Structure 1
Amino acid sequence: MPQTNVSVIIPTLNAGTMIDDLLTCLEHQSRVPDEIIVVDSSSDDDTRDVVRRHPHVRLIVIDRKDFNHGGTRDMALRESTGEFVLFLTQDALPKDSEYIASILDPFRNEHVGLVYGRQIPRADAHAAESLVRNYTYGPQSFTVKPQDIERMGIRAFRASDVCAAYRRTAYQQVGGFEDPVLTNEDMFIAARLLHAGWYVVYEAEAEVVHSHNFTWNQQFKRNYIQGVEMEKHRDILGDAPITGEGFALVKHTMLGLLKQGKIVDMGWFFVDCIFRYAGNRKGTLDARRALRRA
């Protein structure tokens, strides 16, 4: 695509063990970003010192209590200058030097407003986590258009700011990320972009290494917050149920573990799913009660 300004934004919190590798990787891309902004939530470790060793990286420090996934990213984007703005999390490492070039490529189509990339599980990922990542972020790229919403339901709005890129004009047209929003800011803006006529692209060639080995308690908390936010955003997401997609994921993962002979992991994942469902359900119900009282 024609040479245009590209900004990369990375929110951080205690990222001292990983931020140097990430910044170095970005500085050695085949398409080097014109601007890198790190927004640090007052880390307790040496994150800011490490960032300052990269003289071309701009560091913005905020109070930890002021961070939220929507508002902080929106602030950073409005501080940036790129026509295309890329978001990465501190623990998402581009797989190769072509990451930026790959995630920018779909923007050749002037209708594309958002592109998100593929997440490859880490070497230490649990067997179930690897299967989940490979199911959610498969090897085939695809484009979602407004007319696909009815057919795809909630899947049409899938996106992830772990590794995503936005066309600034599209982002601004739909009002940007909300402030505050506790999670799923990427899903909500994907929905608004599609409703406004923009396309959302999953680009499988833009790969980052990223996964988590969450505990059951962590899964409950994460899914509780997701349940709250998704219920609050039913006006954007519509009435498409998420359970059907969830069951398909569980089936895929269970069969994969069975084929690998990982019976103990099957039991662990079954309990993990219970915690996910319980967290999401409680978050949904709590949000409904709060909305009725409002």
Structure 2
Amino acid sequence: MSAPLVSIVMRSYNEAWALKDTLPALAAQDYSNTELIVIDSGSTDGSQDLIRAAQPAHFIQITPQDYNPSRVMNHGMRLARAERVIFLNADATPQNPHWLRPLAESLADANVAACFGRQIPRPDCQAVFACDYDRCFGPQRESVKWDHFFSMVSSGLRQDIWQQRGFREDLQYAEDDEYTRWCRSQGYAVHYVPDSIVMHSHNYTPQQSYKRSFGDARAIGKAWQGAAELRWFKTVLLGWLSDVRHDLRWCANNQRLRELAHAMHIRWQQRCAKLAGFRHGWNEQHGAAA
């Protein structure tokens, strides 16, 4: 009996440098009953030629101004013919021919709404971000103890559960976190699949780090109760000290202590942005004073 069809939805934007490896890695997977759906946000670097050469079942092109992650993912889900839908960012490169199968098999369980695979950082990844990947995806990952963690970069969703309620299109950030929290609230499981591995990382500037952390926190503030209760001392100062402690240990263990000062600066930006974003999102949604 042939394996069930799996739909792969890829989001791309000016990532030809990564697609040169990612698309061949997809073609080399040992799970071959697939359809590829690509939604490109107006690439101008040759990405579109590479995508066309891969002969996707659907190649949707939008402008950068029209990009909304929730809207794009909902669109991909509507186009997908399969019950099991796998998401992969264009700059997330599968590390072997067995990336797809573990994700697809995890979704065979009707109670598993979503799953996500392991990510390892690229060789040029700065220490502050490499530490995050270790905390989120490493062999002794701390994220297993967190209230909730999910990453859409390399992940999968069951179509039947998504059809009950898709991604919230009023959120520009943290839409995957919000959706999978909803899945869990409905009694469904969200699985981590460490045998499915991609290489993926970004070196954000301090300004980019602030913007991303602000956006994530703003979305969470809009979506959940309790955001207005955050305080500077705990969220910013104590949170920053905790982050620096993790970075210090990681840098020492990996002989990269020279990068600690940079990590401390990035963490401060992230922590300040988290508090500001939470409060902004809370006020936006609830009209309450922080």
The answer for unaligned runs of 5 or more in structure 1 is: 145-151
Once the two structures are superposed, the pairs formed by residues 1-294 of structure 1 within 5 Å of their partners are 3-139=3-139, 155-173=146-164, 175-235=165-225, 249-293=243-287
Number of aligned residue pairs: give it: 284
Distance 2:240 2:113 in 1: 27
Distance 1:5 1:42 in 2: 29
Distance 2:271 2:91 in 1: 26
Report the CA distance between 1:293 and its aligned residue. 4.1
Distance 1:237 1:75 in 2: 30
Provide, for residues 200-251 of structure 1, a one-character-per-residue CA deviation record: whole Å limited to 9, x for no partner: 1111111110111111111011011111101001159998999598865543
The code of the aligned residue for 2:151 comes to S
Distance 1:7 1:114 in 2: 14
For 1:130, what is the secondary structure of its paired residue?
Answer: helix
Q: Greater shift after overlay, 241-250 or 81-90?
A: 241-250
* Cα pair distance change 1:286/1:236, threshold 3 Å: closer
* Cα pair distance change 1:237/1:198, threshold 3 Å: farther
* Cα pair distance change 1:167/1:156, threshold 3 Å: farther
Report the CA distance between 1:284 and its aligned residue. 1.6
Distance 2:248 2:270 in 1: 15
The code of the aligned residue for 2:160 comes to T
Provide, for residues 54-111 of structure 1, a one-character-per-residue CA deviation record: whole Å limited to 9, x for no partner: 2244211112222111111101110111111011111100111100012223234332
Sequence identity of aligned pairs in percent? 24
Provide, for residues 89-134 of structure 1, a one-character-per-residue CA deviation record: whole Å limited to 9, x for no partner: 1110011110001222323433211110111011111223222211
Distance 1:6 1:97 in 2: 15
Q: Normalised by the size of structure 2, how large is the TM-score?
A: 0.88
Distance 1:5 1:141 in 2: 32
Aligned-residue RMSD, C-alpha: 2.9
Report the CA distance between 1:287 and its aligned residue. 2.1
* Cα pair distance change 1:185/1:289, threshold 3 Å: closer
For 2:68, what is the secondary structure of its paired residue?
Answer: coil
